[in-house]
Amino acid sequence: MTSLSDARDTRARESLTDRYDPSAIEPRWQARWEELGMHKTDLDDASRPKFYLLTMYDYPSGDLHIGHWFTKTPTDAISRFKRMSGYNVFFPVGFDAFGLPAENAAVRSGVHPREWTLRNIDHMRRQLRSMGATWDWSSEVVTCEPEYYRWNQWFFLKFLERGLAYREMAPVDWCPKDQVVLAREQVLGANRVCWRCGTQVIKRDLEQWFFRTTLYADELLTYPELDFPDPIRVMQTNWIARSEGAEIAFPVAEDAHQPGGDEIRVFTTRPDTLFGATFMVLAPEHPLVEKLTHPDRRAEVDAYLLEARRKSEIDRLSTEREKTGVALGSHAINPINGERVPIWIADYVLFGYGTGAIMAVPAHDERDFEFARRFGLPIRQVVAPPVKDEAGGELADAYVSHTQDEVLVNSGEFSGMAAVEGGRRITEALEKQGKGKSAVTYRLRDWLISRQRAWGTPIPVVYCENTPSDGIVPIPEAELPVLLPEDYEARPQGGNPLEFDERFLRTTCPKCGGPARRETDTMDTFVDSAWYWWRYLSPDKEDGPIDQDREQKWCPVDQYVGGAEHAVLHLLYGRWFAKALNDMGLVHEREPWTRLFNQGQILGADGERMSKSRGNVQDPDELVSRYGADSVRLFLMFMGPWDQGGPWSPTGIDGVHRFLRRVWTVVLDPAAREGTDAVGGADATELRRHAHRTLAKVTEDHADFRWNTMISALMELTNHMFRLRGTDAVDTPEWDEAARLLLLMVAPLAPHIAEELWSRRLAARGEDWTSVHVQRWPDFSADLVAQDQIELPIQVNGKLRDVVTVPAGLSEIEVEQIALARDKIKAQIEGHEIVRVIHVPGRLMNVVVRPDK
Ligand SMILES: [Zn+2]
Ligand SMILES: [Zn+2]
C-alpha cells in the first residue's frame, strides 16, 4: 500500500498542472489503437463467440452531421462492451457511394461524380476517425468501385437466369425534377412525392427492369426469430398488404361493334357480393380500354383519358371529390348470373393496384355507391343482417354497410348463406366453369430497379442490333464488370449521360458477334445496399461476391442499427436478398439481421429538425474541438432514450463534460481536498457497495442500450467518490477497486479518457500497459448488491406491525408506497384516516391513523 500511496502523492503533484485536455489525449490514443491494429477482427478466430455489429453505411454527402454520431457512437459503445464481455466483435464500415447527388454536383461543377464521391469519402473517413470508434477499416467497402459493383451485375445475371429479374413495359412513377423513375417504395406519402427531392411524381410508360420481390411476399410477412421493432414490422406488413379473396373473369359481351372474346379480370376480397356487381370500372390506363370503346363514345373517352393523366393519385383517390367517369359503350357478362353489366372507366380505379379493374358493388361499397348514384346505375343489396331476412323486410337500393353476421340475399341458390360460406361457394361455382378461383393479392409490387442515371451500376445486358431473334442478351459472367466510362459529360439539360456516350453504347453482341447497343439504365442504389454486410466479410474476394465459410461463421448480423425511415425500402430489400441468395445456396440464413434497433432523431436546441435555414445545426467537428469526442459521445447517449433522441442542449453537454473532468479528478487526484474529518472504514465499505451496485446496473442497462440511465448511475458513483476525496477512504483497497470499476465502466462510453486514466494508473503502479479496452468486463458481487437492502420496521400508531425489506436507493415516497401496500399494514389502517406518516429513512416508519370513534 505504501508504494501506491507514494505514487499517488507524485501523481497528485503532477496533476496540479495536468488538467483534462481531450484535444491532447484523443488523437494520441486514436493513433495508438490504429497502430496496434486493435480493431482489426480476426474473422477466422473461432475461440470466442462471434458478434457481428452493423450500422447502416453512409452516403458520402461530404460531411458528417450529428445524426451520424447519434447512430454510430452508441453503437461503438456496444462494440466495446461486447469485446470486453468476451466476444469476437466484427464492426465494419463502408460507403454507399453511388447516387444522384454526385451527378448533380457534376452538373454544377463539372467534376466527375467519381472524383466528387471519393473526395467526400476521404473527408468523411477523417471525421469518422475522430469519433474514436472501433471500426475495422480493413474490411471497408465502397460501392462505386468496380470490385464491388461487378457483384451487383453478377447477382443481376443470376436473378435473370432464375426469373427473379425481368424487363417489362409498365406505367411507372417518374420524378420530373430528378429525371428518373422511382420504385414504389420511393414514392412517399398520400401526395406521392419523390423520396429524394419531394417533387410530386408523375406516371410514364417505360420499359423497365424489375426484381421479383413479390415472389417472397408471404415469407416477408413472417418474422421468425427476428427481433424487429414493432413499428417496422407494422409498416412492412401494411406495405406488403396481403388480402385473400377471388380472382373473377368477366367475359366481354358480344355486340354489334364488339366481337367479344376478351375478358376482364378483377380481384375481389368479397366474392360473396358477386350478385350485386351491377357494373364494371376499368382504370383509364387499362389495356382493354381502347378495344372496348364504342365508336360513338370515342371522343368523350379520349377527352377523359387526357384529363386523368394530368391528375395525381391523391386527387384520383380523394373521397372529397365528386366521382367522374365515362361509359365505354360495351358490356361484360357477370359470370354468376349471366347478367349484362355496363363497362365504365373512372379515375378512382388505379392501374398499378390489383388488376386495374373492379366489379362495382354499389350497395356495399361506398365509392361504387357514389359512382352509381351520380350516373344512375343499378344498386342491388346482396347481403343483410339475418334478422331482416327472416322478417322478410324490404331490401334497400341504397348503400348498406357490412355487418358481422350478415347473410346473402338476392343471390340465387346462395341466398341465406353466411357471407364467408357464400363467398367460398360462389368461388367454387366459378372455378367449375373456369371463370374464377380463390386468390391472394398483395399491395407489394415487384421492385423497379432501373434508373436513367449514369452514376450507378450498369445493368449488364445488350440489345442485339444484328440478329432480331437475339433480342436482349446478357453479358457473359466472365466479361464482368461492365465498367462505367472514365470520363463523364454532364447533361444540365437532363437525360442520362450514358445514352449519349458512343463508346459506352457501342458494343458487340455476345451471341452473334454483331453490333449491339448497351443497356444504359443503371441499378437503383438500393441494390448496392441490399447485400453489403456480406461483402464486408471478404471485400477483396475475387472469385465470388461472398466468402461462404465466413458467411457461415458470421451471419446473420447480430445487431443492426439505423434509421426507421428505411422501413419499406432497404429493410425490406435486404430481407428479400437474403431469401433470394439463400435459395441460390449463397448464404445459409433467410433473414439477414437478427436484431434491429432504430435510433431516434437529434433535434436542434429549439426542438425543431436541424437545418441550415433554421440555424440550429450542431456541427460535430466544432463540438469535438471544443469538448472532445468523449463528451460529444457521452452527451448523445445521456440526452434521452436512444430510440427517441431529443433536442440538443448546450447546458447538457457542459454537464457531461464536467462529469468527465470529475472522473479525471477522482482518479488522479483523490487526496487533494480542503481537509475534512478522517473517516475510513464504514465509508469505504459503502463506496464498495455503491460501486458494485453501479456495476450491476450498468451491466443490465447494456442489454437494452439504456445509455442515459447507466450514465446517471456512473455520475452518482463519481459524485460519491468526489465527496470522499481527502478522507482516509481514498487510501483503502475499496477506493482502489471503485476507481478501477469506474474506469472499466466508462471505457465503452468515453473510450479516450478511460484509456488515458487507465494507462496512468498502471504506470503509477509500475505495471505494463495493456489497454483498458481489452480488459474483461468485471463481474459484480451479488452479495454486495444484495446486501444493499434495508429492513424497515413499520408501526401503526406506535405498534410494530410489519418489517419490510426495501432496496437502499429508493426515495421516501417509494418506500411509503411499498409500506402502505403491505397486507398487514392495510389490515390495520383500512377504514381509518391516515393522520400522518413518520418516516425516519433507514430506521423506522410509523403510520399514525385516527383511532375508531
Ligand atoms: Zn426527385
Ligand atoms: Zn446478336
Mean pLDDT of the 260-264 span: 91
Give the confidence band of 3 by pLDDT, cuts at 50, 70, 90.
Answer: very low
Q: Which ligand is nearest to the CA of 180?
A: 1
* pLDDT > 90? residue 809: no
Residues 6+ apart with CB under 8 A from 212: 159, 163, 164, 165, 166, 446, 447
Q: Mean per-residue pLDDT for 727-736?
A: 92
CA of 460 from ligand 2 middle (Å) equals 15
Phi, psi at 798, each rounded to 5°: 85, 0
The answer to whether 341 and 292 have CB atoms below 8 angstroms apart is: no
Give distance in angstroms: CA of 490 to centre of ligand 1: 18
**Tens digit of each residue's pLDDT (9 = 90 or more) over 429-469:** 999 999 999 999 898 989 999 999 999 999 999 999 999 99
The DSSP-derived string for 454-513 is: SSSPBP-EEEESS-GGG-EEEPPGGG---PPPSS----TT-S-GGGG-HHHHEEE-TTT-
Ligand closest in space to the Cα of 451: 1
pLDDT value for 511: 96
**626 CA to centre of own chain:** 32
Average pLDDT over residues 289-306: 94
Angstrom distance (rounded) from CA 786 to CA 693: 9
pLDDT tens digits, residue range 780-790?
988 888 766 77
Higher pLDDT, 122 or 842: 122
Query: How far away, in angstroms, is 432 Cα from ligand 1 center?
Result: 49
CA distance 186 to 569: 7
Inter-residue contact 714 to 698 (CB < 8 Å) = yes
**With bands split at pLDDT 50, 70 and 90, how would you rate the model's confidence at 673?**
low
- Whether the pLDDT of residue 5 is over 70: the answer is no
- Of 635-644, 645-654, 810-819, the poorest mean pLDDT is in 810-819
Among all ligands shown, which has an atom nearest to the Cα of 470?
Answer: 2
pLDDT score at 2 = 38
pLDDT in tens, 341-356: 999 999 989 886 678 9
Ligand nearest to C-alpha 188: 1
31-35, 346-350, 595-599: range with lowest mean pLDDT: 346-350
Q: 525, 531 in Cβ contact below 8 A?
A: no
Rounded mean pLDDT, 392-409? 78
C-alpha angle 711/714/716, rounded to 5°?
115
Place of cell 432514450: 641
- How many angstroms separate the alpha carbon of residue 173 from the centre of ligand 1? 10
Quote the pLDDT of residue 408: 94
Ligand 1 centre to CA of 576 (Å) is 25
Laid out side by side, the sheet with 263-268 consists of 263-268, 242-251, 436-442
Ligand 2 geometric centre to CA of 507 (Å): 11
CB atoms within 10 A of CB 850: 11
Residue 677's pLDDT is what?
52
Residue 579 CA to ligand 1 centre (angstroms) = 30
Q: Which ligand is nearest to the CA of 200?
A: 1
Q: Which parts of 48-186 are beta strand (E)?
A: 50-55, 88-90, 92-95, 136-142, 165-175, 180-182
Q: What is the mean pLDDT of the chain?
A: 91
Distance (angstroms) between ligand 2 centre and the Cα of 208 equals 21
- Cell numbers describing residue 196: 429524394
Measure 461 CA to ligand 2 centroid, in angstroms: 12
Residue 147 confidence (pLDDT) above 90: yes
Phi, psi dihedrals of residue 110, rounded to the nearest 5°: 75, 5
Statement: residue 675 has pLDDT above 80: no
| pLDDT tens column, 158-201 | 999 999 999 998 778 889 888 888 888 888 887 889 988 999 88
What pLDDT shows up at residue 680? 53
Residue 238: how many other CB atoms lie within 10 Å: 11
Residue 736 has pLDDT above 60, yes or no: yes
> Phi and psi dihedrals of 522, rounded to 5?
-110, 175
Q: Between β-strands 645-647 and 601-603, what pairing exists: parallel, antiparallel or unpaired?
A: parallel
Of 1-15, 301-315, 493-507, 658-672, where does mean pLDDT reach its minimum? 1-15
* 3-state SS assignment for residue 330: strand
pLDDT of 1 above 50: no
- What is the reported pLDDT for 784? 83
Cα of 211 vs centre of ligand 2, distance in Å, is 25
Cell of 622: 466544432
Q: Convert the pLDDT of each residue in 506-549 to its tens digit.
A: 999 999 999 999 999 999 999 999 999 999 999 999 999 999 99
519 CA distance to ligand 2 middle (Å): 14
What was the pLDDT predicted at 788?
62
Please report which confidence band the pLDDT of residue 672 belongs to, taking 50, 70 and 90 as the band edges.
confident
Distance 678 CA to ligand 1 centre (A): 71
> pLDDT higher for 779 or 670?
779
Cell of 679: 473517516
Per-residue confidence (pLDDT) for residue 806, from 0 to 100: 83
Q: What is the dihedral of CA 781, 786, 788, 790, to 10 degrees?
A: -170
- Residues 6 or more apart whose Cβ sits within 8 Å of residue 331: 252, 253, 255, 340, 341, 342, 343
Identify the nearest ligand to the CA of 509 by its number: 2
